[in-house]
Amino acid sequence: MVLDVTARNLAEKDPEKQVMFSVQEKYFEIGRDLQNRMRYGAWQIKEIVDLTLQPMQTRREQYLINFDTDVEEVEIEASLSYFISGKKGDVVYSIKEKLTYDLD
């Protein structure tokens, strides 16, 4: 599973400067990586367990995002994708919200 979170400054006209924050988290199925290869080796066991999301388990992520003092409106978008095999992935959940700040 892959979680993508992005914050954009909607007032910025340049698309490259719009993105204020972006992060991607990856969670693996036990014993397999995103390319569907088996992951073995004693040195990898801890990494596999730490990055594995168990069935019926909820995991919450929090991010601290600092905005410039002149930003009035920010769009936060998060999407969760499930990769069945290799590069074939489907979005299972997506949310987009606009946050407006009063700068008076």
**How far, in Å, CA of 47 to CA of 21, rounded?**
26
For 43-90, the pLDDT digits (tens) are: 566 666 666 666 667 778 898 888 888 888 999 999 998 877 667 788
What is the pTM assigned to this prediction?
A: 0.66
Query: Could you tell me the residue range of the domain that residue 12 belongs to?
Result: 2-100
CA dist., res. 75 & res. 64, Å (int): 15
pLDDT of 95 strictly over 90 = yes
User: How many domains, the chain?
Assistant: 1
Cβ contacts of residue 91 below 8 Å, gap of 6+? 79, 80, 81
Given this model, what pLDDT does residue 96 score? 96
